Amino acid sequence: MTATKGLEGIVAAASSISSIVDGVLTYRGYNIDDLAQNASFEEVAYLLWFGKLPNDAELKQLQQDLSNEATIPDEVIQQMKSYPKDTNTMAALRSAVSALALYDGEADDMSREANERKAVRLQAKLPTVIAALARIREGKEPVAPLAGVSIAENFLYMLRGEKPDEVSVKALDQALVLHADHELNASTFAARVTVATLSDIYSGVTSAIGALKGPLHGGANEAVMKMLNEIGSIENVEPYIMNKLENRDKIMGFGHRVYKNGDPRAKHLQKMSRELGEMKGDTQLYDMSVKIDDLVTSQKGLRPNVDFYSASVYTQLGINHELFTPIFAISRVSGWTAHILEQYENNRIIRPRAEYVGQTDQKYVPVEQRA
C-alpha cells in the first residue's frame, strides 16, 4: 500500500450528484453556468435531493415546506444566548445544529421519507440559526422568519430586521446556487464518512460543519476580506501583493486542487461584485479585487476560486465577515444532505487503510530497564 497525501486523485465514492470534468462543474448533469443564470436556489436544492428540476407544483410544495420549517425551537435560541459573545461563529453553528436534533422527533428515523423531511428541515432552519446567532452577538433579539419568501430573502430579512432590496436578494440567491455542491470536497466527505456508520443526518451535517470551519476549506473567503481590509486602497494593491509574492506567502482565494484553468464559479461572483458596487456607487472593493486578480494571475499563473470574489459580494451585501463561512453552510447543506441521502441508499462503512511508516520489530523492555 502506498499513501496519497490528502487522498489527491483517489476516487473514494460513486455519485450522481455533481461532477467536475475538464474544469466544468455540473449538478445532476446541468452546467453550473446554466443554473447560476436561470435557476433559483430552491430549484437547485430540489435538483440535488431528488435528481430532477421540480415542476411548478413540486417547487411550490418545497417552498411551502421550507417556509413551514424555518422556525427554530425556543430552547435552541436560549442555548445560543448562553454562548460566550466571542465564540467562533462556526463553532456556535456546529453546536446549534447538533442541538436541533434533540427537538426533532424523527431524528433517529432512518427511513428515506424521514431523511428527506430532515433534509428540508435542516435547509430551512440553518438560515434562521445563523441570523439569530448574528443578532444575539450584536445584543439584539432574533427576528422570526417571514412566510412565503425565498431562503435568500428570508435570511437577509432576519439578519437586518427589514425587507431587503431585489438586487441584494438576487445576488445572494445566485451565490447560494454557486456554493450548493462541489463533488467530494472535505466537508461533504466528512458527512459521508459519519453517516456511513449509519449515524443520523444531524450527526453528518454537524461533522460537515466542523470540516467547513477550517480556513483551508470554508474560511478562505474571510481571509480574502481580511486581506482587502489590510490593503485598504487600490494604490496599495501592487506593493502589498508583490511583497506577498516575493516572500512566497499564500494569497487566499487563488488556486484550486481540481481546477487547473480557473474556477467556473468565480466569473459569476465577479460580475455580482461589480453590479453591487455600481448599485451602491462604490466600486473600490471590486476594483481592488480585479487588480489583485490580474497581478496574481500574471505573476503566478493562479486564477481566483469561488472564495475570492464572494468576499466582496458578501461585504457589499452588508454582511459581517464572521458570517461568510456560515453563509457557505446555508448553501452547502443542500449538497451535504443530498450526499447523505445517496450514502444511505447504497451504504458501506467508509474505512480506508493507512500506509504504516513507523518503527518495526520493537521489543518490550520492563520499565525499570528503560533509559
* Placement of cell 443564470 in the chain: 37
Residue in 339, 338, 326 with CA at minimum distance from that of residue 94:
326
Dihedral (Cα; 228, 231, 236, 240), 10-degree rounding? -100
* Placement of cell 431562503 in the chain: 151
Separation of alpha carbons 327 and 218, rounded Å:
10
Helical spans, DSSP H, in the chain: 32-38, 41-50, 56-68, 74-82, 89-100, 112-137, 151-160, 166-179, 186-195, 201-212, 220-231, 237-246, 266-280, 284-300, 306-316, 324-345
Dihedral (Cα; 91, 164, 316, 259), 10-degree rounding? 70
Give the cell for residue 131.
Answer: 441570523
Separation of alpha carbons 301 and 255, rounded Å:
9
At residue 255, the 3 state secondary structure works out as coil
What one-character DSSP code corresponds to residue 52? S
Separation of alpha carbons 58 and 249, rounded Å:
49
- Residues with catalytic roles: 256, 307
Per-residue burial over 48-82, b if 16 or more Cβ lie within 10 Å, else e, is bbeeebbeeeeeeebbebbbebbebeeebbeebee
What one-character DSSP code corresponds to residue 145? P
What one-character DSSP code corresponds to residue 247? T
